[in-house]
Amino acid sequence: MERKIRHQKTGKKGKAASGGPPIRSYLLAVFSGLLLYASFPPLSCWFLAWVSLVPLFFAVYASPDFRGAANVGGVAGLVFYGLSLSWFLRVLGPAAPALWCMLALWPALFCVAARFTLRERFGAFWPVFAGLAWCGIEYFRSEIWIIKFAWMGLGFSQVPLLPALQLCSVFGVYGLSAFIVGFNAALYLSLARREWRPAALASVTVLAALAWGNYRLARYPLEDGRGVKVALLQDESLGLERQLHLSRAKKAGQFDLLVWPEYSFMIPAGREKQHMRMLLNRLAGIGAVKVVGVAITPPDKEKIKVGDAENLAVVIEHGGGIAGRYGKMHPIPFVEPFLVPNKSPAAVKTSIGTLGIQICYDLDFENGSRMMVGQGAEILVVPDMDPWEWGRLQHVQHSEMAPVRAVESGLWAVRAASSGFSQMISPVGRVVREMGFGEEGLLTGKVFMKKTATVYSRFGWIMAPFSMIFTIVLLGGIVLVRLFEVRGGKGYRRKRGIITR
């Protein structure tokens, strides 16, 4: 009879361990999940993100195998997403726990990669591997996977810390996530091995990045370009008369750009020409370039099929002609299953400049705003609809994504949200004007339009796809190693600490 004894160092005495991770590992995973939750709204303790994964790394190292590492990662993810995305219950009802569990699979996968690289003792390079693995997994689940969901990416936690947010102009939000994870890993190495060098080097790197961020904040030419007066409508009534009344609260001609939220004007399918003619006539007295969220829907909502509806932003010139229209790139999974994604989005040229439009959920992804920059956009314009009943937490979390895209693109961003938060955001990610949750009215201010490009929009965006490829190769290597351990000879198993009797 054979039995396998797997050796694992658990302390100075070197006691052997078997089975799954000890209870304290799960407690550490829960603690990491709580720290991650506290890093984001509603608590917004952004500084906790820089230490949030240290307890999880201790739990990963104590795990006897890959399955144990995945378990503690899944527990941390479930705590994090379950608390942070509690508003899922308002939107998805009983299906919400299934989505939390699905999202928890990604930190579980990361912990498998972390355990492999940590146990193989890559030394001072391990924080780099950990950061790249997190970046690759986060990019995959946000931009590539069938259910694309970019919310609660680790880099978004740093929106309140503008010096750190400036790193997004070079590496993007995924690169900032990798930076944070690398610091956590370096701190873990110093605590676990009693070596000061990893944490010292990481601390110097962070301080240098923050110093550069402060320098960029102080020197960036925010008012460089053509100044335009903007009015953002915040209203969820979906009533044309109400929206027209609010839009005329300021004298006609006082602003250059008027933006209405997503789904502001509903058009029955087959009657597009008549309704658009009526809309143009009603807006004729407002002397501005107008961006109106328009939905074209079939009369029978119960039998709607994919492709039967459209979600558009229609751009109307001063004189009343249509300058262009933009279709939504990223329909919301489960909420907008009937929409066909726009595969060829284009910036819209107007008399005041070129508008880079992103409709609501589009701005959650890095590719849309980057494509608009490549097409010569001079400003990001975002019609948005987050229903009031989804709750304040959902609105706060969503509003903290727009500053990241402004920094990545180097453009001013204006966001007209149906029930909040409507925003005007500078290219360094500072919200200069905002209308709160549940308010209604017209938010006005001045922004600046200019063609530009950041390091990120030119080539820095490559880091995330590269990290994804790196992570796929790494995980493939883990599978091969595991297969070799199972099918390999006694000598290899003995070398790995497995004795067969």
Q: Residue 375: give its domain's CATH number.
A: 3.60.110.10
Answer yes or no: is 361 within a domain. yes
Same domain, 445 and 468: no
Q: What is the pLDDT of residue 299?
A: 76
Answer yes or no: is 4 within a domain. no
Q: Which of 140, 127, 122 is nearest to 50 (CA)?
A: 127
Q: Which residues of the chain have pLDDT under 70?
A: 1-20, 119-123, 250-253, 301-302, 485-501
Q: How far apart are CA 327 and CA 4, in angstroms?
A: 59
Answer yes or no: is 2 within a domain. no
Q: What is the pLDDT of residue 271?
A: 87
Answer yes or no: is 14 within a domain. no
Answer yes or no: is 394 within a domain. yes
Q: Rounded to a whole number, what is the distance in angstroms from the first to the last CA of the chain? A: 8
Same domain, 304 and 396: yes
Answer yes or no: is 15 within a domain. no
Same domain, 123 and 231: no
Q: What is the pLDDT of residue 377?
A: 97
Q: How far apart are CA 313 and CA 316, in angstroms?
A: 10
Q: Please state the domain count of the chain.
A: 2
What is the CA angle 419-248-350, rounded to 5? 85
Same domain, 310 and 423: yes
Same domain, 321 and 308: yes
Assess whether the previous peptide bond of 42 is cis (omega < 30° from 0): yes
Answer yes or no: is 10 within a domain. no
Q: What is the pLDDT of residue 499?
A: 38
Answer yes or no: is 6 within a domain. no
Same domain, 286 and 382: yes
Q: What is the pLDDT of residue 9?
A: 41
Contacts of 482 (CB under 8 A, 6+ apart): 66
Q: What is the pLDDT of residue 14?
A: 38
Same domain, 323 and 424: yes
Quote the domain boundaries for residue 390: 226-458
b (16+ CB within 10 A) / e for 266-282 = ebeeeeeeeebeebbee
Same domain, 425 and 486: no
Same domain, 474 and 452: no
Same domain, 252 and 347: yes
Total-model pTM: 0.90
Helices (H), 95-239: 96-119, 126-139, 162-165, 168-193, 197-219
Same domain, 304 and 350: yes
Same domain, 93 and 164: yes
